[in-house]
Amino acid sequence: MKEDTSEIQLPDFLMVHPDLKDDPANKQGEIGFITAAILNMDEFYVGFDDHQVGLYSADALLTFKEPGNIYDFMHQNALTLSVDDFKDLKNIALLLDHGTEKHIRTAMELVKKNDAIRDAATIGLDQRLGISQNRGLKR
């Protein structure tokens, strides 16, 4: 009998999509961490600093792109990015390269403070995990 050894690495921290329309926990744009996940049901329980927990689908959560992708974006758009946006993206990529929980949390705080870089630095958790969905942002 073959044992299934495939594991999925879930992010340390993520952000509830700021454009989420129906959020019973009212945590749009907030940083949280996954407390439990049922992948085949697309259910992610996310804890927050105030000890609240919300239930979300993967398309309602944002996680980081790979640092290399962020660096590539910076190089391709260096002439059109503001100095502050370039600096924030560089700092995020460097923090992600360090990879500790503290660094990742700090990087997510930078995204929270600067909406202009959100799309350059983050990706939907559904895309990161390869979960295909045919609906818009939900819970």
In this prediction, residues 19-34 reach a mean pLDDT of 93
The model's confidence at residue 10, banded by pLDDT at 50, 70 and 90, is confident
- Determine the Cα–Cα distance for residues 102 and 104; give it in Å rounded to an integer: 6
pLDDT of residue 82: 97
Q: Around 88, how many Cα atoms within 13 Å sit in the side-chain half-sphere?
A: 22
